[in-house]
Chain A
Amino acid sequence: MKMTNYIIRRLLLIIPVLIGVSIIIFIILSLFSPEQRAAVFVTDVKQLRNIQSVIKKHGLDAPIYVQYFRWIVEVLHGNLGWSKTAERPVLDAFFYFLPNTIELGLFSAPLIILIGIYLGEASAVYRDKPIDHLSRIFAIVGWSLPSFWLGLMLLMIFYGYFSGLLPPEALGVQASLVVKSGNFVRFTKINTIDALLNRRWWIFLDALRHLILPVITLTIIDCAMVMRIMRSSMLEAMGKGYIITARAKGADERTVIKKHARRNAMIPVVTVSGYLFAMLMSGVVITETIFDRKGLGWWWARAAIQLDIPAVLGAVLFNGILFVLTNLIVDLLYAYFDPRVRLG
C-alpha cells in the first residue's frame, strides 16, 4: 500500500520535468531561423526555391506558443522530424540504431557495477593495503582519462600493433554477410543475442571480439566513479554503531562486512546509478564514434556535425525521458534497500 502511493507520487513528479525538457528543446529549436527549420522539412531540392511556402505550410511563422503546442502534438504522435544523416524519420532511426547501443550497454553496465562495487569494497576493507592503493590510483586515473583518447590508444595497440586482434565496428566482414542474408533470423537485432538464438556460435564470438575494446573504453570511467562512491560509503558504514553491535554479538569479520556493512554501503551506490545511465549515454556517443559502431551515439555525433537538427533534438528528448524513467526505477530500488525511506 505504501509502495503504491510512493510510486504514484513519483510518477506525478515526472510530468513537470518532462515538460521542462520539452521546453528546453523547443527553446533550442527556436534559436534557429525559420529558414533553417524549414530546411528540416524539405525532402526535395525543388522545394528549396520556394522556401517561403514551406515555411507557411509548416506554420513556422506563427507565434511561438502556437508553434510549441503544434510541435508537442507532433511529438506525441511520434513524428519527430526527418533525420538527414539517417535518411529516415527520427523515430524510425531510433529503433534502427538502438540495438547496437543496447548491446554495448548490456555488456558494460553489469561490469561497471560489479567491478566498481567489488573494488570499492576491497579498497575500504583492506584500507591502506596494496589493493587499496592500486584501486584508488585506478579510480583517479580512470576518472581523468579522456575516453576518446583511451579508445584511440586501445585501437592503436590492439588493432594496429596486434594486427587486427580486436577490431572496430560491430561485426567482421564474413559475419556481417551472414547476418544480412536470409538464413539469419533477426529476433532482437542485437548481434550477440541473435547469434546465440540462431545457434551460430562463431558469429557470437566474432561479435564478442568486436565488443571487448568498446566495452573497456566505456566501462573504465564509470567504474572509477562507482568504485570511489562504494569505497567512501563502505568506510562510512564500517564506522557506524551497528558494526560494533555485530562484533559484540560474536559475528565473524566476513559476516560483519557482507551482511551488515555492505547492505548499508550499497545505498549511496544505488542512488548514483541514475547518473550512471546519463554518463553511459554520453560515453556511448564517443565510443561508438571511435569504434565505428553504428548505434545511437554514432548517429547523434554525425547529426551534431552535420547540423541535423531533428536528430539532435531527438537525442535530447530521448535522454530526458530515459533519465526520468531511470530515476524512477532508482528511487524504487532505493526504497527497497533503505527501509527508512518507505514511510512518507
Chain B
Amino acid sequence: MSPELLQKKEKIRKRLEPRIKELKFSLSRIKKSPLSMVGLCIILFFAIIALLAPVIAPPKYPYDPYRIPRYGYSATPKPPSWEHPFGTTEGQYDIFYGVIWGTRTAFRIGFMVVGSIMVIGIILGSLSGYYGGIIDEVIMRIVDTFMSIPTLILAMALVTALGHSLDKVMIALIIVGWPSYARLIRGDILSVREETYIEAARATGVSDFGIIFKHILPNAIYPLLIMASLDIGAMVLTAAALSFLGLGAPIGYADWGQMISFARNWIIGPPGKPLAYWYTVTIPGIFILLFVLGWNLLGDAFRDILDPKLRRK
C-alpha cells in the first residue's frame, strides 16, 4: 500500500478513535443494564420471526404472502389446535399465520415510517435551524400547526382523504410524524450554532453543509436515536389503532391491528363459556404489546446510556 494511503488511514483512525471508545463504552453499559438486554432480546426475537416467516408459516398465496389463508367460511372462530396453533378468527383466517407475517408488517411500518420522518425532519430542521430567518419562521409555523393536532385525529383525517389502506396509513403517519424531529434538530442546531467551535470551523473555511454534517449532527444524533426507537413503537401502535378502526389494512391482511378488529365481536363467548374465544383477542395483542415494549425498553436504555449527565455515574 502506498504511503499516502497509509497516512490517510492513520488520519481517519485517529479521528475515529475517541468515537470508537465511546461506542465501546456505550455497548458495555447496554450489556450491564438488565432492562435494555430484555428489550434487545425481544427485538431480536421478533427480527428472527420476521426473517424466518416464509419458513415458519409457508404462504398459501406465493405472490401475496400477506394474505392470510382461510380454512373455510364459517363465522365462528375455532380454538387452537395442531393445524392451527393459535386458532382461527371469524371467517377462518389462521391466527398463527397472521401474527407471524404481521411481524414483518410491523417492522415494515416501523422502519419505513420512522426512517422517512427522520430524513425529512433532519433536512427541514437543519435548514430551519441553520439559516434562520424566513425559512425558519415558515417551517416552524408549519411544525407548530401540525403539532397542535393529536396524532390519531390528524392521521384519521388524512387516511379518510387518501383512502383506506396500509400504505396510505404509512403516508399519513409520515406526514404527521416529521414535525417533532424537525423541531428537535432545529433546537440542537440553534444551541450549537453559537458555540465557539463552529465559529472556528467557519473561520477555517468549512462549508455550511460540512459544518452541519461533521460537527452538529454527530452531537445531535443521540437524542434523535432515542426518539426514533421510542417512535417505532408508537408508530406501530397508532397504525394498529387505525387498522383496528377499519381505516388501515384490509380484511384478511396480515396486520396485528386488523386481526384484533376481527375479534371485536367475539370477546364474549356463549353463556357458560364467556372466555371461549380469548385467543382471537389475546394473541395478536400480546404480539403488539411485546413488540412495542421491546422498542420502548431499548429507547429508554438508550436514553439512560447516552445522557451525558448519567453516563459516568
Contacts and interface: CB of A to CB of B under 8 A. Distances in A.
- Please determine if A and B sit in direct contact within the complex, based on CB atoms under 8 angstroms apart: yes
Contacts of A244: none
A23 B145 CA distance: 9
Interface in B286-311: 288-289, 292-293, 296-297, 300
A312 interface: yes
B174 to A, nearest CB: 15
Contact of B275 (A31, A152, A160): A160
**Interface size bucket, B side?**
35 or more
B285 A152 contact: yes
Contacts of A148: 240-241, 244, 257, 260
A304 B163 CA distance: 10
Contacts of A289: 245
B150 A278 contact: yes
Interface in B106-156: 141-142, 144-146, 148-154, 156
A43 interface: no
B312 to A, nearest CB: 14
B48 to A, nearest CB: 20
A53 interface: no
Contacts of A156: 267-268, 274-275, 278, 281
A309 B160 contact: yes
A316 B153 contact: yes
Contact of B240 (A25, A146, A313): A146
Contacts of A144: 233, 237, 289, 292-293, 296
Interface string A275-293: 0001101100110011000
Nearest to B269: A160
A140 B35 CA distance: 11
A146 B289 contact: yes
B148 A324 contact: yes
Nearest to A304: B156
Contact of B152 (A25, A155, A285): A285
B57 interface: no
A145 interface: yes
Interface string A308-344: 0100110110011001100100000000000000000
Contacts of A157: 275
Contacts of A281: 150, 152-153
B289 A149 contact: yes
A304 B159 contact: yes
B200 interface: no
A307 B160 contact: yes
Given A20-B144, A304-B160, A305-B246, A149 B260 contact: yes
A186 to B, nearest CB: 28
Nearest to A155: B267
Nearest to B278: A156
Interface size class of A (residues with CB under 8 A): 35 or more
Nearest to B142: A20
B97 to A, nearest CB: 20
A334 B189 CA distance: 26
B32 to A, nearest CB: 15
A11 interface: no
A24 interface: yes
Contact of B300 (A31, A140, A278, A312): A140
B99 interface: no
A323 B293 contact: no
Contacts of A181: none
Interface string B235-267: 001001100111100000000010010011001
A70 to B, nearest CB: 20
Given A156-B267, A286-B241, A305-B246, A24 B146 contact: yes
B217 interface: no
A204 interface: no
A160 B268 contact: yes
A223 interface: no
B27 interface: no
Interface string A6-22: 00000000001100110
B297 A140 contact: yes
Nearest to B293: A144
A157 B278 CA distance: 10
Given A146-B237, A153-B282, A286-B241, A160 B267 contact: yes
A156 B279 CA distance: 11
Contacts of B151: 278, 282
A313 B284 CA distance: 32
Interface in B150-191: 150-154, 156-162, 164
B285 A153 contact: yes
A28 interface: yes
A143 B260 CA distance: 19
A65 interface: no
A300 B268 contact: no
Contact of A31 (B162, B245, B289): B162
A-B complex: 8 closest residue pairs judged by Cβ atoms: A20-B145, A149-B285, A282-B152, A160-B274, A278-B150, A144-B293, A144-B292, A160-B268
Interface of B: 35, 141-142, 144-146, 148-154, 156-162, 164, 233, 237, 240-241, 244-247, 257, 260, 263-264, 267-269, 274-275, 278, 281-282, 284-285, 288-289, 292-293, 296-297, 300
30 contacts: A17-B141, A17-B148, A24-B145, A28-B161, A32-B161, A140-B293, A140-B297, A144-B233, A144-B292, A144-B293, A146-B257, A149-B260, A149-B284, A149-B288, A153-B285, A278-B151, A279-B150, A281-B150, A281-B152, A282-B153, A301-B156, A305-B246, A307-B160, A312-B157, A313-B157, A315-B153, A315-B156, A319-B150, A323-B148, A323-B150
